[in-house]
Amino acid sequence: MQFDFFDDTQSVVLRNDVIFALAKFDAPKAQMAWNVLVRHHPHDAAAEPLLLLIVSLCESTTTPFQKHTELRAACSEMHNKIVPAALAGMGKAAAAPWLNARWQALAGRAAALSYLGTHPDEHAAPLWLQAQQWQLAADAVAQIESWRRIPAPLSWMLHARLQLQGLQANWGLLAELAWLAAQRLERVLQQTAEPILAALVRQFETSFTGAGDADDLAWFPAWALIEQPALAHALKQAQASRHTPPEQAMRVMIELLGLERQGRQREVLAHRKTLRGLNGELYAAYMARR
């Protein structure tokens, strides 16, 4: 039993030698450490994925991508080969910063590629997000013409700014994305650690029936005003979008809250009628608080 324990400990030490070299992006040292590992433990479970990482590191380059297809192939290899190998060979804790650096390298190589509406993810911005480089992601989005009117760039900018500035400064962008592409907003929410927002969304999902899918989030900005009227100022910053019913409902809610404070009852009644015509469930939720 003592021998087995020593043997297991030795394999861990030798494996860690490879991982430490990889973490420093020292391919030659990682290769030498890997050779030692397989000489003593040829069937080590981490040997194969670690070798793949060493090979990928040896083949890495800083040459800018010339075509979107080149970026597409590189991202496919990252998702399908490099990421699984890093998790299997290095473990989650060691793999995370190493993979972030690899995503960052890809983003740098993709910096000159233009935005393609037909292949929206083939752009530097989502790669900067993957690498958790929030300001660089925001800067990359800002270079896309009319980014605020396009679902993918708008979602990237919201994701980046939530990390950089927090929720309060970005309610307007959140509302615009809700109206433009509710499903993309859902993905941003899943990736954002904003406890106040997460709690509000859970409450919305519980109380607002809607169609029962991600598109219901289009109504979230208007609904949020029922729960938290103080959000009116922040949501007022949302730029005009496509004038859809969810957008109209939010703007009616903002006006309603102002009219109620001023005691302009006749106009309040008219706006309530408009709200009811836009969404009966939203109107019922609003009236339940009156």
pLDDT tens sequence across 25-80: 999 999 999 999 999 999 999 999 999 999 999 999 999 999 999 999 999 999 99
The pLDDT of residue 214 is 81
pLDDT tens sequence across 126-167: 999 999 999 999 999 999 999 999 999 999 999 999 999 999
Name the band, by pLDDT with cuts 50, 70 and 90, for residue 8: low
In angstroms, what is the C-alpha Rg of the chain? 25
Greatest extent of the chain over all pairs of C-alpha atoms, in Å:
88
The pLDDT of residue 5 is 36
Do the Cβ atoms of 158 and 177 come closer than 8 Å? yes
**Average pLDDT taken over every residue of the chain:** 94
Calculate what percentage of the chain has a pLDDT beyond 70.
97
Q: Alpha-carbon distance 102 to 187, whole Å?
A: 23
Calculate what percentage of the chain has a pLDDT beyond 90.
92
Domain ranges of the chain: 168-290
Q: Alpha-carbon distance 236 to 163, whole Å?
A: 21
What number of other Cβ atoms are within 10 A of residue 68's Cβ?
17
Closest CA to 21 of 54, 58, 59, 56: 54
Structure tokens at 42: 């040829």
The pTM for the full model equals: 0.91
Question: Phi and psi (nearest 5°) for 240?
Answer: -60, 135
**Average pLDDT of span 227-237:** 96
Do the Cβ atoms of 275 and 252 come closer than 8 Å? yes
The pLDDT of residue 3 is 36
